[in-house]
Amino acid sequence: MKKLLNFSLIILILSYSCAQKSEPQDPTIIISGKITNLDEQEITLFQEGDIANSKVDEDGNFKLVFEGDEPSSYSLYSGRTYLNLYLSPGDSIYVSADAKDLSGTFEVNGDHEKEIRYLFEKAKTETEIGLTYPMELMEKPKEEYLQIKDSLFTRSRVKFVEYSKQENLDPDFVAKEEAYFTYAPLVYDYQYPMYQASITKKPQDSIDFPMDQVNAKLNAIPLDQNHLLNVWSYTTLIDIRVSNLAGEILERDSSFASGENAYEKAGMLAMDSLLKDKTVKDHFYFTAIKSNLDYRGPVHVKASYEKFMKENETPKYAEKLNKLKAKWEPISPGKDVPDFTFTNVEGEEVKLSDLKGNLVYIDIWATWCKPCIAEHPYWDKLKEEFKDEPVAFLTVSIDDTRAPWEKMVKAKNMEGLQWFAENGWKSELNQHFMVNSIPRFILLDQAGKIIDPSADRPSGNIRAILDQHLAEKGA
């Protein structure tokens, strides 16, 4: 009789659920607080890119309001001050701290405060013991590395054990932290030979490490854990699996490897082969396309973008990509470019309009950027090849100050158009072209309109593009 009553109750509940539509959950998340002695007067929330920011008043007060779609991890930062948060749609929290004594003054009140306090203590512990920046650990010989690594993760896990003894914990968060400690040590092991090779200047395959065991563990990880897509250690291992298979695809087919966007296409094939859970596959397709879209713009991800939009079953990813794609519209091919002002090495004011009548190939770089410097020999060779053509090769430094730029330009006898942009990363040029990593190359036509807002590097296929546009102009 009791079972019958329970069954009847279930039917009644289901009937009521069908008759009464539940109210949708409010997606709004509110983060407010007071953090004094910050280096900057702005605070930003980060997750797969900056998603919200707020001015900080003279007393350190701020407020961020944004929408979330699921329980997730975020980073709150201002200058060198970082805080890790875990929040769900509808959450509201208040944080306070003195940036000069973060560990001694941090406090949080509101939703998920237990989880956020745990993350703060975990981050503090991992920084103190060396897990956050592991280069010193990676320098150790194999046996010492393995012993220390296990010890460090054990010490970090103590915080998790203390946290897990509390009542009313978020089970989703607990599961994600368990996964972190399951998969993070394997990430370290996989990366150890690479770091060792870099440190010792030896070939990576000569490093003494049980990679057969590491690869066996890597190949055994489940690829369908869609509830762990916010756990960096888990997603990193899947990224490694995808990258390894993409490399094998390129090695097997040399003609495929020489094609345009070859690695991107190989990556998509690898995902199609490995990832059978649709939510997991959508996630990795999204992150790969978003990364390329962030850096190179819609023109360079057209095929993968269209494929994703056709096959995607996760609406939030499509919405995010569409929003990002729309941001590139003002700098799409054919758009005019503002007549930005710079200064040259002599301190004279110069403008983009000074170069009209030429194709303008722009290199945005900085003296501290090693990948930027690595392109310089290719740049010089390219400039020599096109010296008799109407092409202006313009380098624009976004160094914080002029001094290191002027020193390098003079020391290396860097000739040609060497210009400096005031305000570095926040320069008008960077803001307009959404530059978030360098080197970044831009190609303008003879009228100053955009040909490509994220052109190929000098070491890439830019010669063919220049030849094409010069031929079109000649015709």
SS (H, E, C) the chain: CHHHHHHHHHHHHHHHHHHCCCCCCCCEEEEEEEEECCCCCEEEEECCCEEEEEECCCCCEEEEEEECCCCEEEEEEECCEEEEEEECCCCEEEEEEEHHHHHHHCEEEECCHHHHHHHHHHHHHHHHHCCCCCHHHHCCCHHHHHHHHHHHHHHHHHHHHHHHCCCCCCHHHHHHHHHHHHHHHHHHHHHHHHHHHHHHCCCHHHCCCCHHHHHHHHHHCCCCCHHHCCCHHHHHHHHHHHHHHHHHHHHHCHHHHCCCCHHHHHHHHHHHHHCCCHHHHHHHHHHHHHHHHHHHCHHHHHHHHHHHHHHCCCHHHHHHHHHHHHHCHHHCCCCECCCCEEEECCCCEEEHHHHCCCEEEEEEECCCCHHHHHHHHHHHHHHHHCCCCCEEEEEEECCCCHHHHHHHHHHCCCCCEEEECCCHHHCHHHHHCCCCCCCEEEEECCCCEEEECCCCCCCCCHHHHHHHHHHHHHC
pLDDT tens-digit readout, 400-429: 999 999 999 999 999 999 999 999 888 999
Confidence band of 178 (pLDDT split at 50, 70, 90): very high
Domain 23-111 -> CATH class: mainly beta
Confidence band of 475 (pLDDT split at 50, 70, 90): very low
Q: Which pLDDT value is given to residue 17?
A: 35
Mean pLDDT for all residues in the chain: 89
Q: What are the strands of the beta sheet with 349-351, ordered from one edge? A: 349-351, 341-344, 417-420, 391-397, 359-365, 440-444, 450-452
pLDDT at 331 over 70: yes
pLDDT at 32 over 90: yes
Confidence band of 132 (pLDDT split at 50, 70, 90): confident
pLDDT tens-digit readout, 200-251: 889 998 999 999 999 999 999 999 999 999 999 999 999 999 999 999 998 8
In the chain, where the domains are located: 23-111, 221-327, 341-474
Mean pLDDT of 339-349: 94
Confidence band of 258 (pLDDT split at 50, 70, 90): low
The reported pTM is 0.82
Q: Which pLDDT value is given to residue 24?
A: 53
Q: Which pLDDT value is given to residue 50?
A: 76
Q: Which pLDDT value is given to residue 190?
A: 96
The tokens of 32 are what? 């407010």
Q: Which pLDDT value is given to residue 8?
A: 33
Answer yes or no: same fold for 23-111 and 341-474: no
Which residue's entry shows tokens 């939009």? 309
Backbone phi and psi for residue 336, each to the nearest 5 degrees, phi listed first:
-75, 155
Q: Which pLDDT value is given to residue 256?
A: 65
Best CATH choice for the domain 341-474 from the list 3.40.30.10, 3.40.50.150, 3.30.70.1350, 3.10.110.10: 3.40.30.10
Range of lowest pLDDT (292-296, 344-348, 471-475):
471-475
Range of lowest pLDDT (120-134, 139-153, 346-360, 395-409):
120-134
Range of lowest pLDDT (7-16, 70-79, 240-249, 444-453):
7-16
